[in-house]
Amino acid sequence: MGVGPSVTVVAGGVGAARLLRGVVRVTDPDLVTAVVNVGDDDILHGLHISPDLDTITYTLAEAIDPTRGWGLRNETWQAMELLRRYAASAGREDLSWFNLGDTDLGTHLYRTSRRLDGGALSEITAEIAAAWGIRAHLLPVSNDPIRTRLVTADGVELTFQEYFVRHHHGVEVCEVSFVGAAVAEPAPGVIDAIGAADVVIIAPSNPIVSIEPVLAVPGVRAAVESRRDSCVAVSPIVGGRALKGPADRLLAELGHEASALGVAGIYRDLAASIVIDSVDTALGPAIEATGMRAVCEPSIMVDIEAATALAAACVGAVR
């Protein structure tokens, strides 16, 4: 077995992927497990898409497109062009608002065909990660379908990708739900990975639509709560703003304070510590008043060194 603490990360997409790139450098990758959100998953263009699993896989494989934060670098889009041409010619709805790169298609084709063969998402994820040479263990939180649904202030129900991509998360949300979560089973190894790890980290992912759907799977929230003294959260909100995506707006729209203090309030029962960015140092006393320890560290992972330092700070906050 490897050297260093075992670390389990409760993970969403980009923020979690960037932190994991640091975690695998502060301990042996064989001792790292990511329990990943599948609420963003959907069937699009007839293919089973698992965005957060793919973002983490491609990031750990150093193959992610750094600008987009999803999909592969050096991508081409010929298949999407042809899809647009067919839709236009047939006068049919153009679904190309959700783009799939030509190389990225290989992942979705493999996952979809393996699912049609009856393969479980956790098995397929392990096969894909192994093909990319990734030693960390990537686990979907569940092999059962979970679909994040959002209702806008105008009463329109959106799938997650309609909200995030088609509407560029530019619509006000009044309700979020995770269809299927309440009857989903934790995937094999998920509860053990949380229960046995030396360190549990709640990644700097969106608390509402990335972390919550993971915790909503029966047994997962309780497992994290049972490890509170060994659990540290990382605030995805820096200076009142999300670094990427709609986390600040969703927090405010759903009645939370869009700040590191607001995030601490959400995670108080799950983690004994929360890492906040240095710009939020002034929030430290208020966070500590809620019973959490505030650890002030640079939280903007601009490069691999910053991600590694943040990962080390998370491990240090627990050990």
Which residue's Cβ has the minimum distance to ligand FO1? Answer: 13
Residues that bind ligand FO1 (CB under 6 A): 13, 40, 49, 51-52, 54-55, 70-71, 98-100, 161, 164-165
- C-alpha to C-alpha distance for 57 and 128, rounded to whole angstroms: 8
Question: With contact defined as beta carbons under 8 Å apart, do 299 and 235 qualify?
Answer: yes
Task: Give the residue ranges of DSSP H helices in the chain.
Answer: 14-26, 51-60, 78-90, 104-116, 121-131, 160-161, 190-196, 212-215, 220-225, 247-253, 260-267, 284-289, 304-318
Residue type, 113: S
| Cβ atoms < 10 Å from Cβ of 238 | 20
Least distance to ligand FO1 from the beta carbon of 6, Å?
26
3-state secondary structure of 50: coil
Give the H/E segment covering residue 215.
Answer: helix 212-215
Least distance to ligand FO1 from the beta carbon of 122, Å?
17
Residue type, 74: N
Which among 205, 171, 183, 191 has a CA at the least distance from the CA of 40? 205
Choice between 98 and 316, CB closer to ligand FO1: 98
Least distance to ligand FO1 from the beta carbon of 205, Å?
8
Choice between 51 and 262, CB closer to ligand FO1: 51
Tokens (6 digits) for 67: 């600008």
Least distance to ligand FO1 from the beta carbon of 191, Å?
24
Residue type, 226: S
Least distance to ligand FO1 from the beta carbon of 98, Å?
5
Least distance to ligand FO1 from the beta carbon of 221, Å?
21
Question: With contact defined as beta carbons under 8 Å apart, do 122 and 143 qualify?
Answer: yes
Handedness of CA 296, 300, 302, 303 (dihedral sign): positive
Choice between 109 and 196, CB closer to ligand FO1: 109
Choice between 99 and 152, CB closer to ligand FO1: 99
Least distance to ligand FO1 from the beta carbon of 203, Å?
12
Residue 273 per-residue DSSP state: E
Choice between 49 and 211, CB closer to ligand FO1: 49
